[in-house]
Amino acid sequence: MNTNSNATYILITGTLSLLILASSLVWSNVLADPTAKVMPSCGPVEGFGLSISANGFKPKSTVDWQIVDSKGDVPLFGYFYSNRSGGFNETTYADDLKKGHYKMYFGTDSNNDNIMDTNVTRIYANLTLPCEE
Number of domains in the chain: 2
Distinct helix (H) and strand (E) counts, the chain: 1, 7
Structural domain containing residue 9: 1-31
Yes or no: say if 116 and 68 are a contact pair by the CB < 8 Å rule: no
**pLDDT score recorded for residue 75:** 94
2-10 contacts at long range (C-beta below 8 A, 24 or more positions apart): none
Judgement on whether residues 49 and 103 belong to the same structural domain of the protein = yes
**pLDDT score recorded for residue 121:** 85
Q: How far is residue 99's CA from residue 64's CA, in Å, rounded to a whole number?
A: 24
Judgement on whether residues 51 and 5 belong to the same structural domain of the protein = no
- Residue type at 98 in one-letter notation: K
Chunked into runs of 10 residues, the chain (133 residues) has average pLDDT values of 61 58 49 88 89 95 95 94 96 90 94 87 92 78
**pLDDT score recorded for residue 51:** 96
What region, left, alpha or beta, does residue 118 occupy, with left being phi > 0 and alpha being psi -120 to 50 degrees? alpha
**pLDDT score recorded for residue 2:** 61
Judgement on whether residues 54 and 82 belong to the same structural domain of the protein = yes
Judgement on whether residues 50 and 24 belong to the same structural domain of the protein = no
**pLDDT score recorded for residue 15:** 60
**pLDDT score recorded for residue 133:** 64
Q: Residue 44 to residues 66, 93, 122: CA-CA distances in angstroms?
A: 19, 12, 26
Q: Is the peptide bond prior to 40 cis by the omega test (within 30 degrees of 0)?
A: yes
The H-or-E segment that residue 97 falls in is none
**pLDDT score recorded for residue 27:** 46
CATH code at 82? Answer: 2.60.40.1930
The H-or-E segment that residue 29 falls in is helix 3-31
